[in-house]
Amino acid sequence: MSLETCAESLRTQDPHRFGCMMAAAPADRSKLVTLYALNLELARAPLQSADPLLAEMRLQWWIDRLRAMGQGDQPPSHDLLSPLHDAWGDKAEAMVPLAEGRKRDCDRQPFDDPAQVEDYVNATAGSLMHLAASALGADADAYAAVSRQALGMGLASWLGALPQLQAWNMGLVPQIAPAAARELARSALLSLDAAADARRLVPRRAAPALAAPAATRAFLTSVADGLQDPLEPAPTISPFRRRAALARLALTGRWWV
């Protein structure tokens, strides 16, 4: 997978992050596009087998390759590992926690506590955003803002996918689902507010790593207020609205909502 193929995969499967990557400085794009393409592969790996052991073996393959790169090993010629190594070098080992955060998916078990969902989101969406933000110059001073934005956005994305997750037995146990979803939406809104309050600690260069999709706050508010059934598909965002949000990001550097 060349950089161009990584970008095309991202454009079709994760259009928001594709747009954010394109809003980044040209020198930063190779790191973002390979990181986000890896994230797609890690999310897919546990779902490629219904057998938990086989699913974890697929995920472990990626973990082993990332650790080997961290030890200075040149990866075998590979569609994604090769451009990933070119962009990140031995720093690719920092992506191991992102991969390990997906191990829970191998068991396909629902969550029975909203706190468990937050831990999962921090391990997956949180790890991803910290890697992207650090690559774009966010330092320790920005850590709290990045963490809060990652939790808010990650919960919004997870809630948006909840109908499909329920079908895969990877969402919430049915007894708590509606109430827990509302609680998670409220938690996400508080996290986004905290991130916005700390926005001055985030360098503008890092804005593409933190930008939320269009209508994130509106969706979370509707779930929190009981106006949107979290077990039904969320309203789709028009391409025009998505492009408008990305244009604002590119022009103003505003990532908070």
Residues 164 and 202 in one domain: yes
Residues 143 and 176 in one domain: yes
Residues 145 and 49 in one domain: no
Q: Which residues sit opposite 172 in a β-bridge?
A: 111
Residues 80 and 136 in one domain: no
Domain range for 96 is 1-108
Residues 89 and 143 in one domain: no
Q: What is the pLDDT along the chain (257 residues), one digit of tens a residue?
A: 588 999 999 999 999 999 999 999 999 999 999 999 999 999 999 999 999 999 999 999 999 999 999 999 888 888 899 999 999 999 999 999 999 999 999 999 999 999 999 999 999 999 999 999 999 999 999 999 999 999 999 999 999 999 999 999 999 999 999 999 999 999 999 999 999 999 999 999 999 999 999 999 999 999 999 999 999 999 888 888 988 999 999 999 999 99
Domain boundary at 108, 126, 161, which?
108
When divided into structural domains, the chain yields a total of 2
- Lookup: tokens for 88: 């990140």
Cα–Cα distance for residue pair 12/253, rounded to 1 Å = 24
Residues 131 and 61 in one domain: no
DSSP string, 231-243: TSPPPPPPHHHHH
